[in-house]
Chains A and B, each alone.
Chain A
Amino acid sequence: GAVVSQHPSRVICKSGTSVKIECRSLDFQATTMFWYRQFPKQSLMLMATSNEGSKATYEQGVEKDKFLINHASLTLSTLTVTSAHPEDSSFYICSARVPLFRPEAFFGQGTRLTVV
């Protein structure tokens, strides 16, 4: 199947600093990527839809100035958590679809962010 690679898999940062998470589609072009967040024992909650060459679309309740998304190329989307706080600690996952060929979405490995 299609491969989505996410980096880093784990990061610990201090409060007030920023963290960048990268999501790459390795063997296909993704005009759209999706960013999810998962709290412990909870579902995957969609944060935003990242569109190549244009602004991301954020879900209600997600602060766009805090979670900066950049989709600069057809194979790379980045999520930057700015001025991180302990409540931002979570598991972040990106995904992409190959809609013309497959109905399923492919997911990165996820990033465990811990803000101390």
Chain B
Amino acid sequence: DQQVKQNSPSLSVQEGRISILNCDYTNSMFDYFLWYKKYPAEGPTFLISISSIKDKNEDGRFTVFLNKSAKHLSLHIVPSQPGDSAVYFCAASVSGNTPLVFGKGTRLSVIA
């Protein structure tokens, strides 16, 4: 059973517009949620995270929103740039030295 789900395999957005990537989870024990960006044949690069005690975290063009009651989080990128085109993975973890659990990823294409 998949604990972290990204139901949209792909998303296309016009340059300058907002990109919204969604993620749902089932395990209520998760207390940290993270977004990673990945290019082909490279390891994932950390983008932004949010603790379960918060509902929003912002870093430049990237904002992550967490709705604990709905077990849902989203990543907003605004304004979107062509260089943002990549696969974005949502991940979740339980505190401590435990592995991250990943969603299947969403391929974002930002069109100039």
Q: Could you tell me which A residues sit within 8 Å of B by CB distance?
A: 1, 4, 6, 9-10, 31-32, 34, 42-44, 46, 49, 91, 93, 95, 97, 99, 103-110, 112
Looking at the complex, which one of B36, B41, B46, B102 makes contact with A1 (CB distance below 8 Å)?
A: B46
| Cβ contacts under 8 Å, A99 to chain B | 95-97
Cα distance A10–B40 when bound, in Å?
A: 13
Look across to chain B and name the residue whose beta carbon is closest to the beta carbon of A51.
B97
Chain A contact residues, majority secondary structure: strand
A and B contact pairs by CB, cutoff 8 A, 21 listed: A1-B46, A6-B43, A34-B100, A43-B103, A43-B104, A44-B44, A44-B89, A49-B99, A93-B44, A95-B43, A95-B99, A97-B97, A103-B32, A103-B93, A104-B34, A104-B46, A104-B49, A105-B46, A107-B44, A108-B43, A110-B43
- Among A4, A31, A49, A105, the most chain B Cβ lie within 10 Å of the Cβ of A105
| Cβ contacts under 8 Å, A4 to chain B | 43
| Cβ contacts under 8 Å, A103 to chain B | 32, 34, 49, 51, 93
